[in-house]
């Protein structure tokens, strides 16, 4: 009959597709926010010498922020690069300076490899482009606590947690983006950027180590801090209070990433 409702396969399929599309947008939007901010804010701190070198290498992406997301997009096509995004240390090995990098690569070794390509004026334009996109991404990753995690739980990916409403998550996902999502939910979209910019102003003229091992050590020490609940996989439940009490740490890690990325690029491109 005309007025009875029958499920329409075409419409059902369209709805399904739409829902999947929304889910996939959300997946991408997580740590993307942090990576993009690190690179866009770093860009604003570049010297004229550095800008001259950086601009042609990021042109294809339109902005440094966008270019710094590329390393995540290619993970499926270039599986050999997956382990380049983190460096894990077991609990009885807390020193990032003596950390062993596995055969298939790790964040610290990959950072140095890509930095060498960037510094090598003989390297092809294509390789230098990739190196620039990798470096911007890696400086973000090395400031994220769960990217200097334990190997046993895959950097917190297997440290399972439960939210107050019973929804399940894991430590890695929480620190990659769910705390940022909660920050946006509580304080609005602009709050993170405003605070990051404030912290960049606060820290940009202080002394910063030029070594990635030192940034990694700071990140590791943070991951091991009692309040984080990662040491010994102690945390089981995530409360709003837990997320809110770590907002400042996230803002600070992004600010420090931006400052150190700009200083690194300003250093390698000085006096050319």
Q: Which residues bind ligand ADE (CB under 6 A)?
A: 85-86, 88, 146-147, 149, 154-155, 157, 172
Structure tokens given for 129:
């482009």
Alpha helical stretches, state H, the chain:
9-43, 48-58, 64-67, 70-73, 107-119, 125-141, 171-173, 179-187, 191-203, 212-224, 240-244, 247-268
In which residue are the tokens 């604003």 written?
Answer: 44
Quote the distance between the C-alpha of residue 69 and its chain's center: 9
The sign one gets for the Cα dihedral 238, 197, 31, 118 is negative
Structure tokens given for 255:
């600010």
Choose the contact partner of 101 out of ligand ADE, Zn ion, none; CB within 5 to 8 A by kind: none
Strands 160-163 and 168-170: what pairing? antiparallel
In which residue are the tokens 């060498």 written?
Answer: 116
Q: How far is the CB of 54 from ligand ADE (least distance, A)?
A: 27
32 binds Zn ion (CB under 5 A): no
Q: How far is the CB of 147 from Zn ion (least distance, A)?
A: 6
Q: Residue count at the site for Zn ion (CB under 5 A)?
A: 3
Q: How far is the CB of 86 from Zn ion (least distance, A)?
A: 7
Chain positions 170 to 199 lying near Zn ion, rule: CB under 5 A, are: 176
Choose the contact partner of 141 out of Zn ion, ligand ADE, none; CB within 5 to 8 A by kind: Zn ion
Q: At what angle do helices 125-141 and 247-268 cross, to 10 degrees?
A: 150
Choose the contact partner of 176 out of ligand ADE, Zn ion, none; CB within 5 to 8 A by kind: Zn ion
Q: How far is the CB of 156 from ligand ADE (least distance, A)?
A: 7
If the CB atoms of residues 43 and 230 are measured against ligand ADE, the closer one turns out to be: 230
Choose the contact partner of 88 out of ligand ADE, Zn ion, none; CB within 5 to 8 A by kind: ligand ADE
Choose the contact partner of 41 out of Zn ion, ligand ADE, none; CB within 5 to 8 A by kind: none
If the CB atoms of residues 88 and 195 are measured against ligand ADE, the closer one turns out to be: 88
Binding window for Zn ion (CB under 5 A); candidates: 13-21, 83-91, 193-201, 242-250 = 83-91
If the CB atoms of residues 172 and 199 are measured against ligand ADE, the closer one turns out to be: 172
Residues 36 and 258: beta-carbon distance below 8 Å: no
263 binds Zn ion (CB under 5 A): no
Query: Whose CA is closest to 147, among 82, 243, 227?
Result: 82
The sign one gets for the Cα dihedral 184, 188, 193, 195 is negative
Residues forming the site for Zn ion (CB under 5 A): 85, 141, 176
């Amino acid at each position: 009959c005309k007025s009875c409702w029958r499920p329409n396969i075409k419409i059902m399929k369209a709805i399904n597709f739409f829902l999947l599309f929304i889910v996939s947008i959300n997946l991408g939007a997580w740590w993307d926010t942090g990576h993009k901010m690190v690179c866009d804010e770093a860009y604003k701190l570049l010297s004229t010498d550095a800008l001259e070198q950086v601009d042609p290498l990021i042109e294809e992406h339109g902005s440094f922020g966008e270019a710094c997301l590329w390393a995540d997009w290619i993970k499926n096509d270039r599986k050999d690069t997956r382990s380049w995004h983190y460096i894990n240390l077991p609990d009885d090995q807390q020193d990032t300076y003596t950390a062993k990098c596995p055969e298939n690569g790790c964040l610290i070794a990959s950072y140095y490899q890509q930095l060498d390509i960037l510094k090598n004026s003989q390297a092809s334009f294509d390789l230098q482009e990739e190196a620039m996109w990798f470096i911007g991404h890696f400086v973000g990753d090395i400031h994220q606590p769960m990217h200097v995690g334990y190997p046993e739980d895959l950097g917190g990916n297997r440290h399972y947690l439960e939210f107050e409403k019973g929804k399940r998550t894991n430590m890695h996902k929480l620190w990659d983006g769910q705390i940022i999502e909660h920050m946006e939910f509580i304080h609005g979209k602009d709050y993170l950027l405003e605070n990051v910019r404030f912290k960049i102003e606060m820290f940009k003229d202080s002394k910063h180590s030029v070594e990635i091992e030192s940034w990694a050590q700071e990140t590791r020490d943070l991951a091991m801090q009692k309040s984080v609940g990662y040491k010994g996989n102690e945390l089981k439940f995530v409360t709003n209070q837990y997320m809110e009490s770590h907002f400042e740490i996230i803002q600070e890690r992004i600010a420090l990433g931006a400052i150190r990325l700009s200083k690194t690029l300003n250093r390698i491109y000085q006096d050319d």
